[in-house]
Structure formats: structure tokens, C-alpha cells
Amino acid sequence: MKTLILPLDDRPVTCVYPHLVAHLAGVEVTTPPRHILGSLTCPAKPDRLISWIDSTLSHSAPDSMLLCLDSLLYGGLVASRRSADTVDQLLKRAGCLKKWCRQLNGPVFAQASIMRISDNYDPTEEKPYWAHYGREIFAWSYLLHQLTRGQKIASGSLARIEDQVPAEILSDYLQGRRRNFHVNRALLNTYLKSEALNLLIFSLDDSGAFGLNILEKERLLQLAGQLHLSHKALCYPGADEVVLTMLSRWLIQLAGVSPCAQVIYSSPETASCPSRYEGQSISETVASQLAASAITQTDRCSTAADFTVLIHGRPGYQGDHIYLPGQDDLRSLDTTSSVEQTLAALTDGQQPVVLCDVAYANGADPALIEALLKRPELLARLWSYAGWNTTGNTVGSALATGVARWFAGRRTAAPTSEHTDLAQNLKTCLFVRLADDWAYQAVVRKTLSGPASSAQLSSSMDPYLNQLAAALDLSVPAVNLRHPWQRTFEIEVAL
């Protein structure tokens, strides 16, 4: 079985980790050469990606295509917010979808992002004016959406913001939003409707409860309903994990049956806890990710579940390993009770476990991982682990890895050399996620003042990597570490 994947960009979580998950499932992956994918400062050239896909389809026969359309149309996720291309240019590139659909004997799943609105002054992934007006634009968008809902807002609040942001900047921002929305509507109305696409996921990252992005989500879902395409057009918080979700959905389609999962929260109050950067509760994110992954949720007490989805969180509110000036410092919270409950669930349960660590955004709960490293027998019960970025990123990627393990187990029922390989492949996935989400994001990153060399990263990370290898009973080859985008936000753990 082979699939062609077009990632969002060249980051490890979007470009490298999907290979590990597909390998766990026993699926061969073809992706464009990494150097032609988009990066933080250099967008991909869409024409080059189109040529690569044309050539690949003419020389091989993948069984599916999983396409992140921000790469195809704009050159990457970051580029989709900065691009100056016109609607006509973007739709011309999208025209390739019909040709590829005719060539492929299998489904085409696609992701398209709804342009985010970040509540900060960080222009790293935005246009330069975000450094001065980012929070004002967020607030302006928030109020505009409330007005469309017929909600009352403070008198003069909208005018005050409009006085603070130059009119030409608001105009430029709206122009970009209108263009991206026009393209997303065309993807739905033209390509999903004509079955050039078999699934279309509109993803929202860094979102509040209100905003122009939420208004666009509502309008796209309304259009999907009018076209009777609601079962094939999904929209929910997420972004970087969506290619894994598409992989999960395809594997389940191949299996011809959906795995059943029971969902357990380490702390019942976690379900209603607001999910940072998503504008909804953690339970709403869990539900949307289960649906997008095509996993059937069964009763908590059911013994027929294929695996347990264990949500590790805390009551009240979610922590965050990233501190933003002017906001609460949530980098060190007491999770003692939640850790005890998670360990108890792992100890008492009978089924394999997909562990979603959402006690903090942007990294693992250190207390949980330190406790697990002392209990290797509990680590051995895991079919996947994740604890990175947003709740959606964590849950979606953990579910996909769990589905890959489930799928591979259906193909490898007898204890053979393949079964041994399956165990090793799973340990590799666990090692990479724990190394990134715990060792780096939750521990080492806070000691850095800026991007570090590979040698510096190795010096800081090696003690934790050795702990992980020992607890997983994994013989790890040399590990190469680097900052792929020359910033501390992400690390690449390359085996």
C-alpha cells in the first residue's frame, strides 16, 4: 500500500513524523523532496510541487493522495497568510485536482486552512504589521463577529480600535481574508462537489470563540449542508496534525471497519476545561478529532473497545509552557492529583491506551512523564502518546498513531518477525514524541535563550534521551538534533 502525501511545510511534525506513523501502519509514503517544501521564510514554489506530483503519478500508482492544499496553492501554511497571489492564480493551481483524481485509483483527501487570527504581537508567521497591531486586529475581528451575531458590544469599542489601526492595514488584512475564503468556498463548491476530492478538512489554528475565522467556518459549513456534503466537509480546530488525521481516516477506510475507543479523562473536570488557542472546551476538541479520524466512540465501561483514549489534564484551566508578556504565567502548575488518576487508569485498564497529554499547551506535563519513566510496565501499555502545541494537535496525532498501531495489528496477528518490527516501530514513534514533547518542549527549551547548535542541543538533551531509551527498552541509534526553522519553537529529533 502506498500513499502520496503533500505536507503543509518542511517542519518535523508535518513532514517527518507522518512517515513514522505510516511506517508503523505498514504503509509506504511518497512525499516531495524536503528542500522544495515551504519553510518559515521561503515559501514552496507551487508550480514545482505540481510538476513533482504530475511526475510521481505518471511513474507510480499510489493508493491514495493526502494533500495539504496550503502548500499547493500558496507555498505553505505560513505563506497562506502572506501571499500576494490573486484568486485567479490560486484557482488555476487548484485545477490540477480534477486531473489527479482521474489518474488515481483511490481517494483524494485534502486539507485547507481558514486563515488564523493570533492574539499577540508576534509577526514571525504573519505580515510585518502584526508586530504593532496584532492584538488590535484580533479584538476588531472578535467584535465584528459578535455584531453579526446580534450581540451588544460596548459603545464606541469598535470605533476605538479602528482609530488605532491604520485603515490601509485593516483593508489589506480583509483583502487577504476575502481571497482565502473565496478559494475555500471554491474548493467546496467545485472540487468536493464534483468528487475531485473525497474529503475536505477546513482547519482552524490559533482561534478564539469569536472572530472572522469562526464566521467563515460557519458559512463554509452552511454551504456544505446546502450541497449535501456535510459528511465529507469537516471544520474544526487544528492544523499541523491534519495530515495524520487524513492518514487515519484512509487506514480505517482500507480496513473496512472503524475501531472502537472508550474515552476516559484523568480528571472529569478536564472535559469542560477551556482549550487554549481553540475557543472551545477540551471535550469538544476530543469529539471533533475522534469524528475526523473516523474512530467510533463507545461507552466508557465497554469491554469491546479496541483501545482506550486517556485524556490527561487537570481541572480548572490548561497550563502553557509558553509565557506571553501581559498574560498569566501558566508554566508550572500542580498536576499531582491528575497524574495519580492517570497512573491509576493505566494500571487498572485492560485495553491498549492512546495517551493524550493536554495538562499544558505547548509541551508535556513533566510530572506525568517523570512518573511514567519510573513505571516502564505502564509505558508498555501505550499505543501512542502526544503532548505538543494545542489540544487538537495532541489529540489528532495521538489518535492517528493509535489507529496506525491498530491497523498494523490487524495485519500482523501472529507472533512473527513482522510482529517484532511492529513493536520496534511503535517504540520509535513513542521515543520521538516523548523526546520532543517532554525532553525538549517541557524541560530543555526553557533553558535556551535562542536557537542552539546541534552540539549544544545534544549536550542538553542526551540525559533525557537516555532515560527514554532505557524506559522503552529501545536501542536508539545516533540522534541528530536541530532547530529546523532556526527558532526554539520546534526541534527535529532525527534517528
Q: What is the mean pLDDT of residues 86-115?
A: 97
Share of residues in the chain with pLDDT > 70 (%): 98
Residue 221 confidence (pLDDT) above 90: yes
Residue 226 confidence (pLDDT) above 70: yes
CB 430 within 8 A of CB 382: yes
pTM metric for this prediction: 0.96
pLDDT at 413 (0 to 100):
60
Q: What is the mean pLDDT of residues 366-377?
A: 98
Q: Assign 206 a pLDDT band (cuts: 50, 70, 90).
A: confident
Q: Are strands 492-494 and 480-482 parallel, antiparallel or unpaired?
A: antiparallel
Domain ranges of the chain: 2-251, 257-494
Q: What is the mean pLDDT of residues 363-373?
A: 98
Q: What is the mean pLDDT of residues 257-282?
A: 96
Q: Assign 301 a pLDDT band (cuts: 50, 70, 90).
A: low
- Whole-number CA gyration radius for the chain: 22
Q: Assign 417 a pLDDT band (cuts: 50, 70, 90).
A: low
Q: Assign 302 a pLDDT band (cuts: 50, 70, 90).
A: low
Residue 159, class by beta-carbon neighbours within 10 Å (0-12 exposed, 13-18 middle, 19+ buried)? exposed
Between the alpha carbon of residue 478 and those of residues 11, 120, 460, the distances in Å are: 20, 38, 15
Quickly list DSSP for 349-390: --S-EEEEE-SEESS--HHHHHHHHT-HHHHTTEEEEE--SS
Buried b (16+ CB within 10 A) or exposed e, 252-263: bbbeeebbbbbb
Q: Are strands 28-30 and 260-265 parallel, antiparallel or unpaired?
A: unpaired
pLDDT at 411 (0 to 100):
81
Q: Are strands 480-482 and 307-312 parallel, antiparallel or unpaired?
A: unpaired
Between the alpha carbon of residue 380 and those of residues 119, 173, 260, 336, 471, the distances in Å are: 40, 49, 21, 22, 9
User: Angle CA(359)–CA(363)–CA(368) in degrees, nearest 5?
Assistant: 55
Collapsing DSSP states into helix, strand and coil, what is residue 113? Answer: strand
Cell digits for 99? Answer: 486531473
Domain 2-251 in CATH 2.60.40? The answer is: no
Q: Report the C-alpha gap between 90 and 85 in whole angstroms.
A: 7
Mean pLDDT of the chain: 95
CB 386 within 8 A of CB 289: no
Q: What is the mean pLDDT of residues 414-422?
A: 65
Q: Assign 325 a pLDDT band (cuts: 50, 70, 90).
A: confident
Instruction: Using alpha carbons, select from 338, 337, 331 the residue that is nearest to residue 441.
Output: 331
Q: Report the C-alpha gap between 36 and 34 in whole angstroms.
A: 5
Helices (H), 46-166: 46-59, 69-74, 79-82, 87-94, 96-103, 130-148, 157-164
Residue 401 confidence (pLDDT) above 70: yes
CB 107 within 8 A of CB 198: yes
